[in-house]
Amino acid sequence: MTAAGDAGLFGPESMAWRLDREAMLLLGAGPRALLMQLAHPAVAAGVAEHSDFRSDPWRRLGGTLRSYLRIIYGSTVVARAEIRRLNAMHRGIRGVGYDARDPELSLWVHATLIDSTLVAYTRWWRPLDRSEAARFYLETRPIGRAFGVPDARLPRDLDVFTDYVAAQSSPDGPLHVSDVARDLARAILRPPLPGRLGRFPADPRTYAWTLWPAVGLLPPRIRDAYGLHWGIRERLVAGWLTAAWRAWTPRLPGTFRQMPQALAADRRMSVIDGPAPSAAGARSLASARAFDQ
């Protein structure tokens, strides 16, 4: 259902609507979030054993992106239905050493999406001030609860969340890039051409450089653990691509550069094309509380 005027679970005044609409940002945040998730051995094992990720990574990437955007930009009915669908699917994903409904794993997967969005926006677009980042994090807490993370386990604010991510990624944390994760990472960073383009033989190394900006967003320890080279060539190409995107984005119409789900939500709310207004956070936090009703 796409009832006109239905703001969904976030709404046009939310930071989520503002941050997640730029397609290029999500193309950076998406691969980074997946690589961060797979750095947890239990997540990597679950993905390897319960998906066709190696043979068709575009399906997994596209499905993850569509689900996330349905929750952010969909009407209330659409967003809630997507949450129920994902919860039902995850009930069957379990094996030796992992269970997709484990609150600790759910929290980590949830955290990678938030952290990657903040990192990509700050590095590729502009630094967020503390209040903006804090608002965005508070808006996302109800998503964690909807996916089975107890409220007491969710970091209560941005500072605690930042400490949690740092602890997870530290040498003493649970992230240890396995051989399975490295194998899956190759499918992310050197995927076959999608759709009909896949009919034409092409060495993935010829276009792997387009994902170097996303590699540059990884914490150095995680990047090194994947065995990803990050020398002068990679840094220069990633910097050039990021600078070109930053320079050209303001010149492109919103209908070209923004996610179709965001544009559809704008039309549903009769919002003029462009970034959603950044009004005070009362409206966005009220929308976030709708998760609990």
- The CA distance from 258 to 25, in Å, is 10
- The CA distance from 79 to 72, in Å, is 7
Tell me, what amino acid is at 184?
A: L
- The CA distance from 22 to 260, in Å, is 10
For residue 10, being part of any structural domain is answered with: no
- The CA distance from 262 to 70, in Å, is 9
State the distance between the two ends of the chain, measured CA to CA, in whole angstroms.
19
Max CA-CA distance within the chain?
A: 52
For residue 20, being part of any structural domain is answered with: yes
Question: What is the rounded (10 degree) CA torsion for 101, 102, 108, 109?
Answer: -20
Chain segment 171-195, per-residue pLDDT in tens = 999 999 999 999 999 888 876 655 5
For residue 258, being part of any structural domain is answered with: yes
For residue 71, being part of any structural domain is answered with: yes
CB 43 within 8 A of CB 100: no
**Total Cβ atoms within 10 A of residue 125:** 16
Count: domains in the chain:
1
The per-residue pLDDT of the chain, averaged, comes to: 83
DSSP structure string for 11-43: -TTSHHHHHS-BHHHHHHHHHHHHHHHHTSHHH
pLDDT recorded at residue 203: 54
Per-residue pLDDT of the chain (293 residues; tens, 9 = 90+): 456 678 899 999 999 999 999 888 777 888 899 999 999 999 999 888 877 666 666 666 677 778 888 999 999 999 999 989 988 887 877 776 677 778 999 999 999 999 999 999 999 888 899 999 999 999 999 989 988 899 999 999 999 999 999 999 999 999 999 999 999 998 888 766 555 545 545 555 666 888 899 999 999 999 999 999 999 999 999 999 999 888 888 888 878 888 999 999 999 987 444 444 444 344 443 444 444 44
For residue 4, being part of any structural domain is answered with: no
For residue 6, being part of any structural domain is answered with: no
- What is the b/e burial string over 71-86, where b = at least 16 CB atoms within 10 angstroms of the residue's CB? bbbbbbebbbebbeeb
DSSP structure string for the chain: ---TT--TTT-TTSHHHHHS-BHHHHHHHHHHHHHHHHTSHHHHHHHHHSS-TTT-HHHHHHHHHHHHHHHHHS-HHHHHHHHHHHHHHHTT-EETTEETT-HHHHHHHHHHHHHHHHHHHHHHT-PPPHHHHHHHHHHHHHHHHHTT--TTTS-SSHHHHHHHHHHHHSTTSS----HHHHHHHHHHHSPPPPGGGGGS---GGGTGGGGHHHHTTS-HHHHHHTT----HHHHHHHHHHHHHHHHHGGGS-HHHHB-HHHHHHHHHTTPPSSSPP---THHHHHHHHGGG-
- The CA distance from 110 to 164, in Å, is 12
For residue 67, being part of any structural domain is answered with: yes
Q: Which residue has the tokens 């190759």?
A: 186
For residue 2, being part of any structural domain is answered with: no
Residues of the domain holding 227: 15-193+203-292
Chain segment 23-65, per-residue pLDDT in tens = 887 778 888 999 999 999 999 998 888 776 666 666 666 777 7
pTM: 0.83
Q: Within its chain, how far is the Cα of 198 from the centroid? A: 25
